[in-house]
Amino acid sequence: MRFLTVSALLVAFAAGAAQAADWPAYLGDKASSHYSTLSEITPDNVARLEVAWTYQAGGLGGRTQIQCNPLVIDGVLYGTTPDLQLFALDAATGAERWRFDAAKIPGLAKSGVNRGLATWTDGIARRILFANDRFLHAIDAATGQRIASFGRGGSIDLKEGLGRDAAKLALSVTTPGVVFRDLLILGMRVGEGPAPAAPGPIRAFDVRTGALVWRFNTIPLPGEPGHETWPPEAHRHIGGANVWTGFALDEERGLVFCPTGSASFDFWGGNRIGDNLYANSLVALDARTGRRVWHYQFVRHDVWDRDLPAPPNLVTVTHGGKPIAAVAQVTKSGHVFVFNRETGEPLFPIDEVPVPKSDLPGEVLATTQRVPRRPAPFSRQLFTHTEITQRTPEAHRAVLERFATVRPHTPFAPPSRQGTVVFPGFDGGAEWGGAAADPDGVLYVNGNEMAWILTMVDAKRRAAGAAGGSDGAAIYTQICAACHGVDRRGNVAQNVPSLENLAARLKPADVHALLQAGKGVMPSFAFLSEAQRGALVNALFGTEAPPAANPGDTHAADAAGVDPLGGIPFATTGYNRWLDPDGYPAVKPPWGTLNAIDLNTGEYRWTVPLGDWPTPGAPAGPPTGTENYGGPVVTAGGLVFIAASRDGHIRAFDRRTGKELWKAPLPAAGFATPATYAVGGRQYVVIACGGGKIGVKSGDAYVAFALPAAR
């Protein structure tokens, strides 16, 4: 037996106390619990919260966002700006200590959004592992400088070693990986449209050197288990099946839980017939080696963009009178699946439900899909005429008229030319903010209750306003229309600009450069040949396409002999929320909810609307709830903190009852997950106020709240 000296016990106690005061990992801890043991702020005093400090991060530009859940360690807060600079602050005052800007270093870049950071220490020095664009950086936590011994000068290019001519394919990192011992286990974001997409393997890198240690292929290679669920050559040209949401780690068991996304193209899979393991799966891997321990596939042959939207939560529940180490996964469809963490055995029954067939040529869907019997879904599952908005007679009539033209809604209704209702929508049910879990086995999850309409079109369809029936117009339909729309009007809710009257803002050379390099949330389309880019640019500017720079170089095939543009027969008109003529959701409220689900029993403890979006001039009524982005935090003090709503407030709810106890306005909507921590014995709750989504204003502030300081 090992005995500890008094001094060792004091050191261990101090380390535990410091960890309790910190927010040391993305979403609170490596178990993705969103839980804090802090208890200074309680239901009895939460109404006294006040702004402790505000940090204006800068970096605003256009419709920028901050989705970062910051780290707080030893009194220092680490976060990112709207333009993706990394910074360190005094967590008690908000005073800046240092910044790191990758864009100032030749050869590096920054784009997209950032949702958080990872960290590692050897007990002497600490590193912040900051992944953005296609690069992973190791930053000295004390100075903000890159650590030269990591990779090349402090950074590694995540496209290296990926294969499949990855240099020309879109790849970025929005969500941090998870650190296990001396490994950083990392996922990435890749293309999802009909254009060629990179594969999405899960990789582990040495945190000291940046060297690759192991790789798990989510699109299995020949000879690997699961390869038989794809066409034989799919690994050569199909992309996706990537972890873009982050991970949950059981350090004691050495298991990392990896929630994967769908295979590309999101909405047609005629070139990937089969169930498509390990897409849309929770994969439990040995964190030391990357060896698969177990997996569960939630959606077979996904054509609905039903990525697993958030890291799972590691929880302990009681079933059959015994405590069970479990893992709970929330989904975009508004379901919660609960498994034994060690074996993958479901803890509640799961039904195989027959689903409709597709009428799109070449598509072959799975005949059944999986739906848990308990817990009940936390978002509505069926859009019938009884769910149509009653906000005003005019709104009801407009939605009803559209309702009569789309395909009647059923769960797993396949994509169609007619228009298919996706409900809940592409952004959930649950979304990337994830769920919180307390030690009692209760899960707190916010859900969206929005209907979207998915409409498929022939890939060669002429783009609106494009010249003739040119190759450029067809390329636009295939790779641009899903975001910018077939009418080129863009999508404000998705932060996608209009391409109408493009010549008034940009020159053809500017668009050529954008297609080659990408910018912001727009990925690179470097896979296009010079002739294809020229045809697309000329279609956008309404001019005749010039002769190809290289004869015959118009639809170059990839290494597998597959034409990445001509081989996909369908495209989509975009990610379109179903709104009434005034811009409100087509469905009756609530449009967003917060839910407490007891995973010991599968029963709900409470459900309440999250946020409010009343019609101007209308009489006051119960809260409508709103579409929401960002997750909750639950505390030992008995509270659930969450921002997320489009109305631009942060709120506190009683953990036991769901009663809203406090709310405060923010300078911009807090589309991020908060963090809570303590410095000097004072508990703080901080939220990134970036806004910028679903048409609301952008911001650059981090706001910290605390109880009034003792005088």
pLDDT value, residue 484: 83
Specify whether the CB–CB gap between 132 and 138 falls below 8 A.
no
Cis peptide before 684 (omega within 30 of 0): no
Specify whether the CB–CB gap between 241 and 219 falls below 8 A.
yes
**Of 116, 94, 102, the residue nearest 59 (C-alpha):** 102
Confidence band, pLDDT 50/70/90 cuts, at residue 495:
low
Residues 6+ apart with CB under 8 A from 126: 73, 119, 120, 140, 141, 142
DSSP 438-505: -TTSEEEEEEE---EEEBEEETTPPPTT-STT-HHHHHHHHHTHHHH-TTS--BGGGTB---TTGGGT
Distance separating alpha carbons of residues 558 and 527, to the nearest angstrom? 9
Per residue in 238-284, pLDDT (tens digit) is: 999 999 999 999 999 999 999 999 999 999 999 999 999 999 999 99
pLDDT value, residue 551: 36
pLDDT value, residue 521: 64
Specify whether the CB–CB gap between 496 and 490 falls below 8 A.
yes
pLDDT value, residue 520: 61
Encoded tokens for 393: 């007679």
Identify the weakest region by mean pLDDT among 23-37, 40-54, 569-583, 612-626: 612-626
Distance separating alpha carbons of residues 401 and 40, to the nearest angstrom? 53
Per residue in 682-692, pLDDT (tens digit) is: 999 999 999 99
Higher per-residue pLDDT: 564 or 552: 564
Specify whether the CB–CB gap between 59 and 79 falls below 8 A.
no
CB-based burial of residue 586 (10 Å sphere; 0-12 exposed, 13-18 middle, 19+ buried)?
buried
Encoded tokens for 187: 């996922």
Higher per-residue pLDDT: 13 or 27: 27
Q: How far apart are the first and last CA of the chain?
A: 48
pLDDT value, residue 519: 67
pTM of this structure: 0.91
Distance separating alpha carbons of residues 633 and 473, to the nearest angstrom? 47
Give the residue-averaged pLDDT of 201-218. Answer: 98
Residues 6+ apart with CB under 8 A from 377: 333, 334, 335, 429
3-state secondary structure at position 50: strand
The answer on pLDDT for 633 being more than 60 is yes
Distance separating alpha carbons of residues 694 and 584, to the nearest angstrom? 11
Encoded tokens for 578: 């179903």
User: What are the phi and psi torsion angles at 277 (to 5°)?
Assistant: -65, 140
- Sequence-ordered alpha helix ranges (H) in 185-233: none
The β-bridge partners of 456 are 572
Distance separating alpha carbons of residues 295 and 290, to the nearest angstrom? 13
Distance separating alpha carbons of residues 647 and 665, to the nearest angstrom? 8
Distance separating alpha carbons of residues 448 and 694, to the nearest angstrom? 13
- Sequence-ordered alpha helix ranges (H) in 142-245: 234-237
Give the residue-averaged pLDDT of 6-17. Answer: 40
Distance separating alpha carbons of residues 64 and 147, to the nearest angstrom? 29
The β-bridge partners of 367 are none
Distance separating alpha carbons of residues 308 and 701, to the nearest angstrom? 29
For 546, which DSSP code?
A: P
Distance separating alpha carbons of residues 209 and 551, to the nearest angstrom? 46
The answer on pLDDT for 564 being more than 60 is no
**Of 137, 595, 111, the residue nearest 376 (C-alpha):** 595
Distance separating alpha carbons of residues 328 and 336, to the nearest angstrom? 7
Q: Strand pairing of 183-186 and 202-206?
A: antiparallel
Residue with the two structure tokens 């780690």: 249
Confidence band, pLDDT 50/70/90 cuts, at residue 528:
confident
For 271, which DSSP code?
A: T
The answer on pLDDT for 463 being more than 70 is no
Give the residue-averaged pLDDT of 293-307. Answer: 98
Specify whether the CB–CB gap between 253 and 287 falls below 8 A.
no
pLDDT value, residue 5: 42
Residues 6+ apart with CB under 8 A from 16: none
Identify the weakest region by mean pLDDT among 128-132, 325-329, 495-499, 594-598: 495-499
Residues 6+ apart with CB under 8 A from 507: none
Encoded tokens for 565: 């543009």
The β-bridge partners of 350 are 372
For the beta carbon of residue 421, count every other beta carbon within 10 angstroms: 22
pLDDT value, residue 579: 97
Confidence band, pLDDT 50/70/90 cuts, at residue 561:
very low
Distance separating alpha carbons of residues 231 and 336, to the nearest angstrom? 31
For the beta carbon of residue 21, count every other beta carbon within 10 angstroms: 24
Distance separating alpha carbons of residues 500 and 107, to the nearest angstrom? 33
Q: What is the largest CA-CA distance in the chain?
A: 83
The β-bridge partners of 457 are 571
Distance separating alpha carbons of residues 213 and 203, to the nearest angstrom? 8
Phi-psi region of 581 (alpha: psi -120 to 50; beta: other; left: phi over 0): alpha
The secondary structure element, H or E, covering residue 258 is strand 255-259
Specify whether the CB–CB gap between 336 and 330 falls below 8 A.
yes
pLDDT value, residue 157: 97
Give the residue-averaged pLDDT of 218-244. Answer: 96
Confidence band, pLDDT 50/70/90 cuts, at residue 562:
very low
Per residue in 139-163, pLDDT (tens digit) is: 999 999 999 999 999 999 999 999 8
Encoded tokens for 590: 């609530």
**What's the mean pLDDT when you consider all of the chain?**
90
Per residue in 336-391, pLDDT (tens digit) is: 999 999 999 999 999 999 999 999 999 999 999 999 999 999 999 999 999 999 99
Sign of CA dihedral 71, 72, 78, 79: positive
C-alpha to C-alpha distances, 320 to 317, 323, 324, 340, 348, nearest whole angstrom: 10, 8, 9, 13, 12
Give the residue-averaged pLDDT of 210-237. Answer: 97
The β-bridge partners of 202 are 216
Give the residue-averaged pLDDT of 411-433. Answer: 97
Q: How far is CA 245 from the centre of its chain?
A: 5
Q: Which domains does the chain have, with CATH numbers?
A: 460-567 (1.10.760.10)
Give residue 481's identity as a one-letter amino acid code. A
The answer on pLDDT for 18 being more than 70 is no
Encoded tokens for 705: 């709240």
Percent of the chain whose predicted confidence (pLDDT) is above 90: 78
Confidence band, pLDDT 50/70/90 cuts, at residue 509:
confident
The answer on pLDDT for 554 being more than 70 is no
Encoded tokens for 709: 């300081």
